[in-house]
Structure 1
Amino acid sequence: MITFYPGPSKIYPQVADYAADAVRQGIVSLNHRSAGFMDIVKETVRLLHEKLDIPADYHIALVSSATECWEIVAQSLTAVSSLHPYNGAFGKKWAEYAYKIKPPVSLSDADVLCIVQNETSNGTQVSMDTLAQFRRDFSALIAVDAVSSMAGVKFDWSLADVWFASVQKCFGLPAGLAVLVYSPSALKRAEEIGENVHYNSLLFIHENFSKFQTPYTPNGLGIYLLMRVLQQLPAIDLVDEITKRRATDWYTFVEKEMSATPFRLLINDPATRSDTVIAVQGDEQEVANVKKAAQQKGITLGNGYGAWKSTTFRIANFPAITDEEIGTLTQFLRSYQA
């Protein structure tokens, strides 16, 4: 089965061998305070800096999920309230989740701006140019949910103070781990707030990761697999080039080669279209039919999500997906008769 589901999505095929290595070598049985495990954490952090071109003064921690990162931002980095401009389901969920922890008493005094860089639900994204405008206009911290784009496209990390992503999308790994990147300014804010009463308080996390340890027993297998995948990956400049070329090809394909079908791109503005999640719309029955037909051909298309659940299907454009698999899907879509 070929999957284009936008998360959890296709994992790199080498992951099976890496997991077997972890079992054979006893990696999965290492104590998380042991020197051997600390070496794995240290190397994983080093590789994240190197392969994703993360600035040397930005800190990195590994946590359970992007949802946990929402919680960390709310409890450890928000003094008054957070501001959440959004245009999709995940941005809305982040706002709702954050406001349960830190109710929005005074949004005019918001001290954290929370942006979903790539909105998986509808295939939109916030460009680096737009993020730069936010940076100019907002004087406090900026936190970015980059779940569907980190490790798939290149970021200007200086445009935000917190970036985070789960690994089940562009990293090509199983779910259960997230990468949290935070600036010196974010750490300073955490120190000023002084929130240190939770197992996942940022200060407690930082204290542990400064020693290449974790504050709780972690997903050791996931961290090892992340290290091994990072070792095989090219630099983000090349990954970014490939991702954006493929995205251009996908949008051209849907606009031109699918013009005689009942399907159209959900997002009309090219400037706001995602590079990593392509959303295609049609009426409810047509969408159900094409997904069923694809499944019969051994291809899994992504379901729609939220308000677009029944009237869209989504195509992941993640690095682990091969050109051959893309060719199989485009051939199917060319020949598909509604």
Structure 2
Amino acid sequence: MSNEFPTIPSELIPSDGRFGCGPSKVRPAQLQAIQNNAGIMGTSHRQAGVKDVVGSVRAGLAELFQLPEGYEIILSLGGATAFWDAASFGLIRKKSAHLTYGEFSSKFATVSKKAPWLDEPHIVSAEPGTVPSPSELDGTDADVVAWAHNETSTGAMVPVTRPNTDALVLIDATSGSGGLPVDMKEADAYYFSPQKCYASDGGLWLAAFSPAALERVEEISATDRYIPAFLDLKTAVDNSLKNQTYNTPAVATLLMLDDQVKWMNANGGLEGMVKRTTESSTHLYEWAEARPETTPFVQDAAARSLVVGTIDFADDVDAATIAKILRANGILDTEPYRKLGRNQLRIGMFPAIDPADIKKLTSAIDFILDGGYAKA
């Protein structure tokens, strides 16, 4: 620790200092799971062993989401970024409609806008820190409607509620899946990466596909549309149903993901995870509202994320200095999203993060503020 910064009393230091919004805290048991299954490292992903892990992940997620009949867990490589491109090839017939309210919710809209084989998308935008409503897409002529369950950059969330339309509903759940409530019947493709609520590494995308989404994949695949092999959703579906991926996956990532999903299901399932994130987020926002120097960035309490908390600081406080002091004391990754450019902290509250550590974190920030260590 640098002598440049004050030492936070040990009783105020969280048991684990990782509060990043992705990659996020990894539980020690997940790392042990890699060691316990070292025998399958370096073996074929098309044989028993690795396929058993993929099958366990798929079954565990089906249990976690209480998947409706006919829904399937599909997975492939590349993360959610790759899924946006794959969806533009394999799920959108001609036109999509999007709700955007921050950096990440706008990215899929940008992909659709640039795809020369698709019509101009319909985009409903809200300013960062506010949220649009799914009902704003009622009656759209698009064949896909899309938004993010949770906007990682701003700490705002939009519910998964099917608009009044026949379009497929695609939900980017990268930072929300596993920590926010969802009724899967309201979505047709609920897709995510495993480095946030699932406390694993990135590089994969996973999705719960409805029968309608699976049918759309088959429909578009039967046309003459060119689809790159890496982004071919029919290939992803066909391989997933065999408990494998088209390309070689990172087996350690799958092992960490599998252990986390088992831990989630053993601790109350999705309801239990939402209880944890609700406890953490309720404390954080109530703390921020109680101090004169702090305010939740998202003004609408119903739109404040349960898994990513953004807290603004008064002009006479330098939030960047607070983050530096925290980091010097082993409390990591509380900096705000770089492009938002606000005087704030951003706190990950994913299920693996103990709610007691969120309380220790706010006590550590109290120490910094009360001591006048972060004056602007």
Q: Displacement, 1:197?
A: 4.6
Match of 2:120 among 94, 105, 111: 105
Q: What SS class does the counterpart of residue 212 from structure 1 fall into? A: coil
Q: C-alpha distance in 1, partners of 2:204/2:237?
A: 17
Q: C-alpha distance in 1, partners of 2:356/2:121?
A: 52
Q: C-alpha distance in 2, partners of 1:307/1:138?
A: 34
Match of 1:76 among 90, 100, 109: 90
Match of 2:24 among 2, 6, 9: 9
- CA deviations on 1:150-184 (whole Å, 9 max, x unpaired) are 11122111111001111111111122223221110
Match of 2:186 among 155, 159, 171: 159
Asked whether 1:291 is paired with 2:304, we answer: no
Amino acid at match of 2:90: S
Q: Displacement, 1:310?
A: 4.1
CA contact (8 A) 1:301 1:313 kept: no
When residues 155 and 63 of structure 1 are mapped into structure 2, their CA distance, relative to the original with a 3 A threshold, is same
When residues 32 and 116 of structure 1 are mapped into structure 2, their CA distance, relative to the original with a 3 A threshold, is same
Q: C-alpha distance in 2, partners of 1:148/1:124?
A: 11
- Provide the residue aligned with 1:29 in structure 2: 42
Amino acid at match of 1:180: A
Match of 1:266 among 276, 285, 297: 297
CA contact (8 A) 1:12 1:173 kept: no
Q: What SS class does the counterpart of residue 7 from structure 1 fall into? A: coil
Q: C-alpha distance in 1, partners of 2:230/2:202?
A: 21
CA contact (8 A) 2:199 2:257 kept: no
CA contact (8 A) 1:22 1:221 kept: no
Structure 1 residue ranges without an equivalent (≥5): none
- Sequence identity, in percent? 30
- Provide the residue aligned with 1:247 in structure 2: 281
Asked whether 1:177 is paired with 2:177, we answer: no
Amino acid at match of 1:323: P
User: What are the equivalent positions in structure 2 for 1:111-122 lying under 5 Å apart?
Assistant: 111-122=143-154
Q: What SS class does the counterpart of residue 275 from structure 2 fall into? A: helix
When residues 7 and 206 of structure 1 are mapped into structure 2, their CA distance, relative to the original with a 3 A threshold, is same
Match of 2:53 among 24, 29, 40: 40
Q: C-alpha distance in 2, partners of 1:149/1:59?
A: 19
User: What are the equivalent positions in structure 2 for 1:132-151 lying under 5 Å apart?
Assistant: 132=161, 135-151=162-178
When residues 306 and 80 of structure 1 are mapped into structure 2, their CA distance, relative to the original with a 3 A threshold, is farther
CA contact (8 A) 1:69 1:180 kept: no
Asked whether 1:322 is paired with 2:343, we answer: no
Q: C-alpha distance in 2, partners of 1:143/1:173?
A: 23
CA contact (8 A) 1:80 1:109 kept: no
How many positions carry a matched residue from both structures?
Answer: 328
Asked whether 1:204 is paired with 2:238, we answer: no
- CA deviations on 1:205-224 (whole Å, 9 max, x unpaired) are 11111222221212222122
Amino acid at match of 2:57: T
Q: Displacement, 1:317?
A: 0.8
Q: Displacement, 1:106?
A: 6.2
TM-score of the superposed pair, with normalisation by structure 2: 0.82
Q: C-alpha distance in 2, partners of 1:152/1:323?
A: 13
Q: What SS class does the counterpart of residue 195 from structure 2 fall into? A: coil
Please, what is the CA RMSD of the aligned residues?
Answer: 2.0
Q: What SS class does the counterpart of residue 149 from structure 1 fall into? A: coil
- CA deviations on 1:314-337 (whole Å, 9 max, x unpaired) are 011111112342232121122222
Q: C-alpha distance in 2, partners of 1:85/1:188?
A: 24
Match of 1:55 among 44, 47, 68: 68
Q: C-alpha distance in 2, partners of 1:325/1:245?
A: 11
Q: Displacement, 1:227?
A: 1.6
Q: Which has the higher helix share?
A: 1
Amino acid at match of 1:242: R
Amino acid at match of 2:208: V
Q: Displacement, 1:35?
A: 2.3
Q: What SS class does the counterpart of residue 175 from structure 2 fall into? A: coil
Asked whether 1:280 is paired with 2:306, we answer: no
Structure 2 residue ranges without an equivalent (≥5): 1-15, 123-139
